[in-house]
Amino acid sequence: MRATLRKPIFAIPVAALFSTICLAQTTAFEGNVTGEDGKPVQGAMIHLDRKDIKGNYKVKTDKKGHYYYGGLPIGTYRISVEVNGKEADFVDNVRSRLGDPIELNFDLKQAAARAAAAGGGAEAESKDAERGMSASQKAEYEKKLKEQQEKIAKNKALNDAFNAGVQAEEAKQWDLAVQSFEKASQIDPSQNVVWGRLGDSYVNLAGTKTGADQQAALEKGIAAYQKAIELKPEAPEYHNNYALALAKEKKFPEAQAELTKAAQLDPASAGKYYYNLGAVLVNTGQTDQAVDAFKKAIDADPNYAEAYLQYGITLMGKATLGPDGKMVPVPGTAEAFQKYLQLQPNGKDAETAKAMLASLGQSIDTTYKKTKK
């Protein structure tokens, strides 16, 4: 009868793989252009000129007079509409925002009225633009003007808070990062990227705390990830980082479910998600399931060196002792360490892999040469 070896203890760091993803900071503008006759203007050229950093973009309106331009960098813009080669209207100093497109509509009838009244200063221009309007038209004009001003102010505050949070993250000032992202979440609770960053910051803050303070920060981080997932359930990075926070709270079944979800949503990065799943399972003593998870990581990414190493280490825990007292590894153990060395001959865990092979009585393939630095 073979005796089962005690499982070797190896620390597998469970780290957030995508805590700084996210985070492409882009914006979009859209709206409608109506002519002086009240009908949609097709083929009007919309110019989007960035003012804080040089950048010029343009797009034409469709047959419904609608335009859309996405993927723009966050910044301050002058948006203008050109009809028949002439600028017909514009909006200046528009600060773009994260999330949903900013809606800017152009009514060329009102623009013509403002242009005709130009020359009397901003206040006079506004009053002259309203001259000739009916009471209802005037009220609608003033309402839209106020709404636009409020949007611009809100967008500026949101982006200022968000960017302050990003800068604090980069400086590892987690308290300040939390404060900034909390502020951004209050300004606009519909921004998933804000909640994702807030979750990251709370979890990192928890790493600097102990006891009740650590637990409180972790719980707030988990709540932030839940909100990010609610707003954008198809984002794998949120499920991954949420899972790692759950694992820190020892909520392992929930963590496993979230990591599996991340792998399903992002097959191209499934190896990393399954690797994290294997780490969670090892840390909870579920060796058989951990072996399966690391094997899935390898199947998803055959060049994932670290997955081979951890797969081999986990298989070591399933080795037995033969009648002669020698170690009897399960099939694939030595091959996993050899594969790691093939992929990373001078990797940070190369000596560990060699030590594991030596303990198995295996020779090391001398064709694995150290690469030049």
Q: What is the pLDDT of residues 64-96, one digit of tens each?
A: 999 988 878 888 899 999 999 899 999 988 888
Question: Do residues 96 and 78 make contact, with C-beta atoms less than 8 angstroms apart?
Answer: no
pLDDT at 261: 95
Give the confidence band of 117 by pLDDT, cuts at 50, 70, 90.
Answer: low
Question: Do residues 92 and 101 make contact, with C-beta atoms less than 8 angstroms apart?
Answer: no
Between CA 201 and CA 132 the distance in angstroms is 55
Q: Give the sheet arrangement for strand 55-60, strand by strand.
A: 55-60, 45-50, 76-83, 86-95
What distances in angstroms separate CA 265 from CA 223, 232, 261, 344, one per listed residue?
21, 12, 6, 29
Give the confidence band of 19 by pLDDT, cuts at 50, 70, 90.
Answer: very low
- Would the pLDDT of 126 be above 80? no
* pLDDT, greater one: 43 or 327: 43
**pTM of the complete model:** 0.59
Of 244, 238, 224, nearest to 182 (Cα)?
Answer: 224
- Would the pLDDT of 46 be above 70? yes
Across the range 178-188, mean pLDDT stands at 94
pLDDT at 8: 39
* pLDDT, greater one: 110 or 372: 110
Question: Do residues 81 and 88 make contact, with C-beta atoms less than 8 angstroms apart?
Answer: yes
- Would the pLDDT of 22 be above 50? no
Residue 89 has φ and ψ, to the nearest 5°, of: -170, 160
* pLDDT, greater one: 118 or 235: 235
Across the range 168-179, mean pLDDT stands at 94
Between CA 149 and CA 7 the distance in angstroms is 65
Which of 106-120, 290-304, 353-367 is predicted with the least confidence, judged by mean pLDDT? 106-120
Average pLDDT, the chain: 83
- Would the pLDDT of 128 be above 60? no
Across the range 122-131, mean pLDDT stands at 51
Tokens of 323: 């009648």
Give the confidence band of 353 by pLDDT, cuts at 50, 70, 90.
Answer: very high
Paired residues of 73 in beta bridges: 26
- The ranges assigned to domains in the chain are 8-20+190-359, 30-97+100-132
% of residues, the chain, pLDDT over 90:
52
Question: Do residues 42 and 261 make contact, with C-beta atoms less than 8 angstroms apart?
Answer: no
Q: Are strands 26-34 and 102-103 parallel, antiparallel or unpaired?
A: parallel
CATH class, domain 30-97+100-132, is: mainly beta
- 226 CB-side CA count, 13 A: 9
What distances in angstroms separate CA 70 from CA 6, 29, 96, 108, 217, one per listed residue?
57, 6, 11, 24, 36
C-alpha of 7 from chain center: 37
Across the range 121-134, mean pLDDT stands at 54
Give the confidence band of 48 by pLDDT, cuts at 50, 70, 90.
Answer: very high
pLDDT at 242: 95
* pLDDT, greater one: 128 or 317: 317
Longest dimension (CA), the chain: 104
pLDDT at 130: 56
Across the range 149-162, mean pLDDT stands at 81
Give the confidence band of 366 by pLDDT, cuts at 50, 70, 90.
Answer: low
Q: Are strands 106-107 and 26-34 parallel, antiparallel or unpaired?
A: parallel
pLDDT at 20: 36
CATH class, domain 8-20+190-359, is: mainly alpha
Between CA 199 and CA 372 the distance in angstroms is 40
Q: Angle of helix 174-187 relative to helix 192-206, nearest 10 degrees?
A: 150
